[in-house]
Amino acid sequence: MLKITELPPHRHGHDAPLCDVSAARRDRDVGPAAAHVVIVGAGFGGLSATKALAHAPVRVTLIDKRNHHLFQPLLYQVATAGLSPAQIAAPIRTIVRHQKNATVLLGEVTGVDMPKREIALGEMRIPFDYLVLATGARHSYFGYDDWEPFAPGLKSLEDATEIRRRILLAFETAESECDVTAQNRLLTFIVIGAGPTGVEMAGTIAEISRHALRMDFRNIDPGAARILLVEAGPRVLPAFPEVLSKDAQTRLERLGVEVRLGQAVTACDADGVTIGGDHVPAHTIIWAAGVMASPAARWLGVAADRAGRVAVSSDLSVPGHSDIFVIGDTALAKDADGKPLPGLAPVAKQEGAYVARVIAARASNRPALPEFRYKNFGNLATIGRKAAVVDFGRIKLTGFFAWVLWSVAHIFYLIGFRNRLTVSIDWLWAYLTFERGARLITGTPGTIPREASASAKRGRGER
């Protein structure tokens, strides 16, 4: 028996309008009987699926709560003043404007009615023949959400500009601080989690403090800033081979990053963090330790794993619902060895393209496709200027050549020629001069609630 998930209440007790938003295009572009494909999320997976359906006999409605596609692997560059937000994002409508069978809607999906084959978009209900959920992931504080005001994560442009504001403001405030203890706290930066995001953040903060800001202040020495990278596990970059993890740690320490392994954060507040039994005063704390999938499992009324991911079939559909697909960070898909696929951009892009082929084959009455198999072309992570690690399976690279490969790969996957060009120029300039071109303190400073600080001071074991 199909389960109806709870949708938002209807206004005035009446049924919300049923809106087939792309029906106006039906007769002109793809025929009156074209199936309607609704794709929720314009990240790597959703956008890949949308573009791969450009020539399929279907109508596509792409929905996202933001109007831009974001290149998340370079968010840390915005957070550390290396790039501006516009260089790693592009309007969704611009990306698909030449795709005649695609319609873009701005809004937040709040539920799915599976028997009626509708999704809830505010007060509106949108019907679908095929549904693709590519809604990504959000920060996970392992049950301690009261840590979030003090340790923001990095998932959106708003997150990146807030972290950039906190980092730059720490140096500015320290310049006018006379008390040495307070000054040391301002110049202490803690990154929690040593995956690629944490390693990239810690390495870049070390670089800008020791190079880009070195000559800009008179009362403080930015190079004396203390950068801690904290990891509860036994090594940095745990998804990489151990030899690359060791190389990355060595290079981080050469940059001046203090790496603490096998030590869990047990408390986090406005004054700093507690690592095991050691309280470290710090003004700027950055969370890179965990993610939780979007609430898609709740929308669908299906079971999820501890990270909130939906277990999918070999064709990435929801078991028992062959017309509903879940991809990207929201999906628990497995490789040929039965291991869960990582939450990486290449995984989401391949899943999106595969689901599009499955839908196109069904819409054209072609034979079914073989099951999905992820092709791993390698993992990359940068540690700082002229340093990165690359895992191509049997081939493992470190140092300058790995950094060049990392740079070329990220520029190649950026959306739009203009973004590729400007990022290339900025990176070349930064390489030659150590300058960071987006050192702007913007936005309204967020207030850290003192009651949240008090409750967060209680020591807790990290899960």
Hey, which residues are catalytic here? 200
> Which residue stretches of 288-380 are H helix?
296-300, 345-363
Angle at 119 between CA 113 and CA 125, to 5 degrees: 105
Strands (E), 317-411: 317-318, 321-326, 331-332, 379-384, 387-392, 395-398
What region, left, alpha or beta, does residue 365 occupy, with left being phi > 0 and alpha being psi -120 to 50 degrees?
Answer: left
Q: Phi and psi of 250, rounded to 5°? A: -60, -45
Distance between CA atoms of residues 349 and 343, nearest Å: 11
SS3 411: helix
Distances (CA, A) of 410 to 77, 101, 406: 12, 29, 6
**H or E segment at 309?**
none
DSSP per-residue letters across 193-251:
--SHHHHHHHHHHHHIIIIITTTT-SSS-GGG-EEEEEESSSSSSTTS-HHHHHHHHHH
Burial of 44 (0-12, 13-18, 19+ CB in 10 A): buried
